[in-house]
A and B are shown apart, each in its own frame.
Chain A
Amino acid sequence: MKKWPQCVLLFWLALAVVAPWLGFQPDAIDLAHILDAPSLTFLLGADDLGRDIFARLIAGAGVSLTVAGVVTLVTFTIGTTLGLVAGYHGGWVDRVLMHITDVFLAFPGILLAIAFAAVLGAGVDNLILALCLTSWVGYARLTRAQALSLRGRQHVQAAQALGASTPRILLRHMLPLLAPALLVEATFSIASLVVAEAGLSFLGLGIQPPHASWGAMLRDGARYLLVAPHYVLAVGLSLMSLVLAVNVLGDTLRDNLDVKR
């Protein structure tokens, strides 16, 4: 039972990966079956256009996890690089980089993403871009703070004395010590990115129809809460399970990697 977060995450990942071979048609509209209750044909019922909610949930999981994964990868790389350089180099490089970070930090992330989505236009690629632009600052700040303290460590000074190049020092002597904290940050950000994607799609600025997205499904489902509660419940519970699993996973990871213990 202790491994349930991994199981939930694996469940959604596996479904999202094998979805193309399951033969579902998440976009097949059937006006005769609008908001049908769960049955053998529609495992979790049908949505407001008579589409299979289960098939759409799986398709939506793929979108949500892809967006979260890509954005985390990109922001992790950018944020960590900038933070390392700023922290290790210090001086004017540090000041310039951190002021830029502060500017981005000063905006509420989701608001900036909405603004970007409005300017760039809606769509998956723009959604990823908008989320990337706003969520790298956390990594940069964290890495920089850690790098500042690591810079004075003896093994780093030894490497410097031996004439190691800067990239080598950053990658071989500092990054491994930063990894635990960054990994924890990454898991938490995956969870918040899934919610952010859902939020932007909820506002109609994310994934465009007919493609499924959990946020858009939640928005549509909420309209029919009174007549078809199965719709919004199915989507809401799925979203909750995934976000909860990732969060608990991050918590466990932090406990296990905590050096103080």
Chain B
Amino acid sequence: MRKEYLKLEKVEGPLIVLSNIENVAYDEMVEIKIDENEMRKGKVIKIEKDKVVVQVFEGTAGISTHNARVKFLGEPLKLPLSKEILGRTFNGMGEPIDGAYQVISAHKYNINGRPINPVARKYPRNFISTGVSAIDALMTLIRGQKLPIFSGSGIAHNELAVQIVKQAKIEGANSDNFAVVFGAMGVRHDDASYFMRSFEAAGVLDHVVMYLNLADDPITERISTPRCALTAAEYLAFEHDMHVLVILTDMTSYSEALREISSSRGEVPSRKGYPGYLYSDLSTIYERAGMIEGKEGSITLIPILTMPNDDITHPIPDLTGFITEGQIVLNRELNQKGIYPPIAILPSLSRLMKDGIGEDYTRKDHADLASQIFSSYSKVQDLRSLAQIIGEDDLGDVDKLYLKFGRAFEEKFVAQSSFENRSMIETLNLGWKILSILPQSDLDRLKPEQIKKYYKGKKE
């Protein structure tokens, strides 16, 4: 029988402090029984001599220094996992909240995981076709990649995430052996139910595992939610060879929870009050995506974050961008123009794209086509600001063509309905069709033979 401690020294924010404690390990789980009926969980986050600081997952409301019995469980938070988790819904600590039984498994998995050895990784190469033109052509998603969606509040990021889940298709063997792991941190009830309904409508619910921490759930559980989700993903991918797509939303709520706990611990803050270890902490989440040499499965990670005040230099998107392999940036202006998906092309990027497209994967001209679209569209932006000053009529003829190209690109190429699933070839052909608005001589990133084959405009 483990010892129970009856007296707390201090209760502050999500933390409780106990003294005269023996034999406690760092990161160990703790059970707290309040008034003999309510059970909460916590973990050890600091040990100082015989004093221990415990972070309570469900919050400290209702705890006094004398009404709690505290028991140390001797191990970190571990999840029992089996293939039965598919189709189930859990809370942020991996406990079932769908009314069904707890998952039974002989082996339990530490939710903190351990870093993947870089020499054991397999470099991700196969693309995932999402059916969304802007993503497929210009920021191709690769199996095993971590590609976040940078959004703002009120922008259609949830729709885009659902569309990706519904339409994602991979080539080759083992392609139906897929699963979706959904981790929600601090999202609203209607957002969570939107995801659930959409998964159901798409008929994939049997392949989905959900870890939900809703907006009114305790913030401390937000810290464990993505870790539970990724532990489940690692289990499915590396022990059952499944291709796992992990959606984590919203990383901003997660980081804010981290900040709240950090400040109640009295830590020295760094930028905007976030703790100095935000980067290391985020990386222990994002870096769990990937593929492993000798294993069939993969973890593709799409975290969603809302940029506070649409500011891409805010610490959360900024640090995320330094860890992830690119980013899909959504833009409020496009969203207001009614363009769905409102993907801002220029700041978006997929770092792994270069190795997963081209002759062996998509089509030979893909890389050059993408590069040309980026370069031409970036010129459109310059001309638009010029046109605002001198008026569109005073622009040169070629410049007018650029504006036409820009409009067609946004309205026909980027925009598509949330049910439209364009194949990779359709997307590339559409790209050529729109580029053909521009004179041939302006297409300096394309090779002559490509222009000959695909260019539809006036040939020179």
Partners in one complex: no
Chain A residues with CB under 8 Å of chain B are none
Chain B residues with CB under 8 Å of chain A are none
